[in-house]
Structure 1
Amino acid sequence: MTPDARIATAAELLDSILDGQPAEQVLTGWARRSRFAGSKDRAAIRDHVFDALRCRRSYALLGGGMTGRGLMFGQLLAQGRAPEEAFTGQGHAPAQLTEDETAALRRDVEAALAEAPAPVAGDMPDWIWPLLTEALGADAARAAALLRQRAPVFLRVNTARGDLETARASLLRDGIETQEHPLSPTALEVTSGARQVARSTAYETGLVELQDAASQALSDALPLRNGMTILDYCAGGGGKTLAMAAHVQARITAHDANPGRLSDLPARAARAGVDVAIARQPKGPFDLVLCDVPCSGSGAWRRSPEGKWALTTDALADLNRTQDEILQKAAALTAQDGVLAYATCSLFRAENEDRIAKFLSETKGWVLDFDRRWLPQMGGDGFYLACLRRG
């Protein structure tokens, strides 16, 4: 496919996504129908689509409308490229520019975005902008700007298998360049060859795992010690379970409300050289209970940009109720002198500090040891951690 044909295809797929179809479903369906498209074509079109979803309000402003064509036109303008060179109508390229689009070529992109309302320039729904500014204050605009960009690819070095230099050398032999990242002593940022990671020797032998640097930093901050009993209550795929297992010699149990999410964990644990258990109905008490609760995912919206456009006030309220319920259930599984760790990948107070305040006001015998935020401007995703202790 030509670069212009990729743009035309991305515009068509974006129309389906804007109509309400999930992006992954649309992209997968197109790939299955389009056997002529090579891996580079699929990767380029995917990048176009997700770039547009991250920046759909600002691209629509620049491109003249919330359509696939408008978003792709706006994307080219925002990236400093010449839309008239792609929108030629020749072959499989997008149709020629309209008069309005030709006039838009003279627009000063920086001035247009500077004059736009903050939620438009920051690519956020109007109702979410106050939540962001309430939580982050002067940091809100910077966080929003970073959420408009592609997320870095991070690896966690499994110190049960080797050190950072060993991992970097192994990855380099497979054409993957990395650099250390200050958020965590186990974090490597992939600077080249990210699409080769899953086929690399380091990955296949358990020396590295894909994990965001801030997620690693959160695991680093947990009060872990050898000999503990630990429950990862909302384990998902088990990334933090494995990270904790690499930190300490402990009895670690993983649980998730959807057991299917943990189906790969035994194989991943074996590859990593660590022992973890899986429990459908965990029985306490545990010295440490980590509940990385379901949330808006706002701290990771650059990875899953559909989330910020799909979130509603009702959905956020439902999440808050679920978060409160999980805190209470996890508290019941925590030992007398144990630690209850509450985590989200959300930036909002409504899912973070407000939940902890509600729990402490309604549940006697608990105190807050500490809480901490990681913001996108630190390099990784946005996370929140609060460690509570039963006294």
Structure 2
Amino acid sequence: MTPPARAAAAIAVLDRILAGENAEQALTNWGRASRFAGSGDRAAVRDLVFQALRCRRSYAALGGAQTGRGLILGHFRAEGIDLEAVFTGEGHAPARASGEEGRAPTENEALDCPDWLAPRLEQSLGDDFPAVMASLRQRAPVFLRVNVQRCEVAEAQAMLEREGIATRRNHLAKNALEVTENARKIQASAAYADGAVELQDAASQAIVEALPLAEGMRVLDHCAGGGGKTLAMAARARLKLWAHDVTPGRMRDLPARAARAGVKVALAEIPEKTAPYDLVLTDVPCSGSGSWRRDPQGKWALTAAKMAELAVVQATILARAAAMVGPSGWLAYATCSLLEEENDGRIATFLAANPNWRQERSLRLTPLDGADGFFLSLLTRI
């Protein structure tokens, strides 16, 4: 595919997404219908689509319309690329750009920040607000967690290097590697197949490193999802480990992943049956604002009503998890949110209603620290 043909494909995919289709599904459907597209073409179209979603407001302003065509026009204008070289109207290229004028984005548009969320984010981030929002407009780094039960970090790097995957150490977590070349080769690599490495953001790894884990502890990952933090905890110490999720289907790959990593995890449909636990980790549903680079569609789908619903869910999970913590155990509350109301504010509300609990310590990370935004609060009974 030529660059103009890739642009046309991205426009078509974006139009489906803007009409309500999930981004991953829209890309999958396009790929299945476009057998002529090679792996390089699919990767290029994917990159165009996701960058347009990250910068949806600013590109729409520059491109003059909230459409697939408008977003791609805005993208090329933002990059200073000659539109006449792409929008040629010839072959599979988009139609010529004739009379389609954009404009300079407003302040929030330039930061690709929803207007209704801007005051909340400014209050939460303070002087870092512009820089954090600007960082969320860029593609997220790819990180790996080395499974030190399988190999040392340097050994994992050497394994990856032999397959052309370059990495470097990351300061946020001792077993974290940032992939600097050929990230798309990871899941086909021997290091990944053998369980030597797992895909996991460095901030997520830092959260697990901050947990007070010790040999033999009974631990519940209450909102396990795909089980990334479950496996990271298992790699830190020999634990009696349970994983639970309100949607069990999210954990369908966890048994196979655990087997590949060489650890044991029990799936708990009703975690109260095996309580009490020495530590309960609750990585609760949230705005996802700290990881908008990875899920830009989620940023634009978020509403004030959804935030109110999430607040109820977060409070409910905290209360449920607290009841399962043993007398001298730990309650760990985590989000991938940048918003104070989901982080310190949620903990303050919980402590006000539960004076027999106290916060021992907390951790806050933003994309300015080099990975996703994350929050962790560690609570114990008084």
Taking structure 1 as the reference length, what is the TM-score of the superposition?
Answer: 0.95
- 1:99 Cα deviation (Å)? 3.0
2:44 alignment partner in structure 1: 44
- 1:172 Cα deviation (Å)? 0.7
- Asked whether 1:221 is paired with 2:217, we answer no
- 1:100 Cα deviation (Å)? 4.0
Structure 1 CA distance for aligned equivalents of residues 66 and 53 of structure 2: 11
Asked if the contact 2:173–2:206 (Cα under 8 Å) also holds between the matched residues in 1, the reply is yes
- Asked whether 1:363 is paired with 2:329, we answer no
2:257 alignment partner in structure 1: 268
- 1:328 Cα deviation (Å)? 0.2
1:256 alignment partner in structure 2: 245
* Letter in structure 2 aligned against 1:74: G
Asked if the contact 1:157–1:186 (Cα under 8 Å) also holds between the matched residues in 2, the reply is yes
Stretches of structure 1 lacking an aligned partner (at least 5 in a row): none
Q: Which residue of the other structure, out of 85, 95, 106, is the alignment partner of 1:117?
A: 106
Q: Which residue of the other structure, out of 312, 324, 337, is the alignment partner of 2:315?
A: 324
Stretches of structure 2 lacking an aligned partner (at least 5 in a row): none
Asked if the contact 1:335–1:390 (Cα under 8 Å) also holds between the matched residues in 2, the reply is no
Structure 2 CA distance for aligned equivalents of residues 143 and 57 of structure 1: 16
RMSD of Structure 2 on Structure 1 (CA): 1.2
Asked if the contact 2:222–2:281 (Cα under 8 Å) also holds between the matched residues in 1, the reply is yes
Asked if the contact 1:234–1:293 (Cα under 8 Å) also holds between the matched residues in 2, the reply is yes
- 1:389 Cα deviation (Å)? 0.4
CA deviation string 1:313-372 (max 9, x = no partner): 000100010000000000000011111000000111121111111111111310010111
1:301 alignment partner in structure 2: 292
Corresponding residue SS for 1:237: coil
Asked if the contact 1:155–1:208 (Cα under 8 Å) also holds between the matched residues in 2, the reply is yes
* Letter in structure 2 aligned against 1:57: R
Structure 1 CA distance for aligned equivalents of residues 27 and 231 of structure 2: 31
2:30 alignment partner in structure 1: 30
* Letter in structure 2 aligned against 1:340: L
Structure 2 CA distance for aligned equivalents of residues 266 and 12 of structure 1: 38
- Asked whether 1:127 is paired with 2:116, we answer yes
Asked if the contact 1:84–1:97 (Cα under 8 Å) also holds between the matched residues in 2, the reply is yes
Taking structure 2 as the reference length, what is the TM-score of the superposition?
Answer: 0.97
- Asked whether 1:210 is paired with 2:208, we answer no
* Letter in structure 2 aligned against 1:33: A
* Letter in structure 2 aligned against 1:317: A
- Asked whether 1:380 is paired with 2:377, we answer no
Corresponding residue SS for 2:117: helix
Size of the aligned set, in residue pairs, is 380
Asked if the contact 2:220–2:281 (Cα under 8 Å) also holds between the matched residues in 1, the reply is yes
2:330 alignment partner in structure 1: 339
* Letter in structure 2 aligned against 1:20: G
Structure 2 CA distance for aligned equivalents of residues 12 and 100 of structure 1: 18
1:188 alignment partner in structure 2: 177
* Letter in structure 2 aligned against 1:367: R
Which moved further from structure 2: 219-228 or 375-384? 219-228
CA deviation string 1:125-172 (max 9, x = no partner): 100111111110111111111111111110000010111110000001
Q: Which residue of the other structure, out of 326, 351, 358, is the alignment partner of 2:342?
A: 351
Structure 1 CA distance for aligned equivalents of residues 220 and 21 of structure 2: 36
Corresponding residue SS for 1:53: helix
Corresponding residue SS for 1:127: coil
Q: Which residue of the other structure, out of 119, 137, 147, is the alignment partner of 1:148?
A: 137
Which moved further from structure 2: 349-358 or 202-211? 349-358
Within a 5 Å distance, the mapping from 1:75-94 to structure 2 comes to: 75-94=75-94
